[in-house]
A and B are shown apart, each in its own frame.
Chain A
Amino acid sequence: MEKRKKTKIISCEEAMGIMFEYIDGVLAGKHHSELEQHVETCRGCLKKVEFQLKLKKRLISVKPVSISKNLSKRLSLILED
């Protein structure tokens, strides 16, 4: 409880400013706590964070395009040279 009292209350604008670092897992320390505390009380920002997390997960799941036989042959030739 004491820790929570020390966390700075941030605005929606500030929260959105650090949201992408949060979803990319690079937000640390006090900023991480500030964002988490903000979304606990702000439904709008919570939805935006949830959306970005889901979208990121979906983007990573996009299947790679297979390498054509032609490209595979070209790359092998380059490596053999």
Chain B
Amino acid sequence: MKSNNIKKHELKKLIVPLFGQLNKVAMYLCKNRDNAEDLVAETLLKVCENINKLKDKSKFKSWVFRIMNNEFISNYRKNKSVNSVQLDDYLLNNRNSNTLSIWGSNPEQFLINKLLDEDIRRNINLLPEEFRMTVILCDIENLSYKEISEITRVPAGTVRSRLSRGRAILQKKLHHIALEMGIIRKKNKGKEAICTCN
């Protein structure tokens, strides 16, 4: 019993500083506040139930995020299995597109300066689910490939590949924002030019 109490006391110290990060990641994953709050609460419940199974305290953070990822995936698969088809369609339709060449001209710095947090949140939320978690963990939470690999339980090579593809899709979405905002505009024959009127 004593060891359980110590665990609980330690748990509070470890988990409370992570609440903000868990809430942020959950918001990206779930796309709405109510579901995100449920996910954070369910994650915490699982963490409390299973804390005695954690052997290496130094891996607490990745263990907690792994629980959140598992909770999200199981709820997601229960409720939204249709989205995996959407991802396949997306990849099929975009297989040959070279998103890295989108920024061949140079509006990028201008766009980055103009991006609102909300633009970034909205567009990360639009990433296919398989890539979203990896991009969030790396680019928003600044976790290492090794930590992401532990959380998502995929090899480091898959983390690299998901990051590369997820970022390419995000970049493409930001390019659309640039067009919508008038930061760049389409020229004849698909070439783009910077709009200097903003």
User: Given the complex of chains A and B, what is the CA–CA distance between A47 and B45 in angstroms?
Assistant: 46
CB-based contact A63/B23 at 8 Å: no
Within 8 A of B (CB), among A52-81: 52, 54-56, 58-60, 62-65, 67-68, 70-72, 74-75, 78-79, 81
CB-based contact A55/B41 at 8 Å: no
CB-based contact A65/B24 at 8 Å: yes
Given A16-B100, A54-B109, A62-B117, A68-B142 contact (CB < 8 Å) = no
CB-based contact B139/A65 at 8 Å: no
Which residues of the partner chain B approach A78 to less than 8 Å between Cβ atoms?
A: 41, 44-45, 48
CB-based contact B171/A59 at 8 Å: no
Q: Which B residues are within 8 Å of any A CB, using their own CB? A: 11-12, 15-16, 19-21, 23-24, 27, 33, 37, 40-41, 44-45, 48, 100, 103-104, 106, 108-109, 112, 115, 117, 120-121, 138-140, 142, 144-145, 160, 163-164, 167, 171, 174
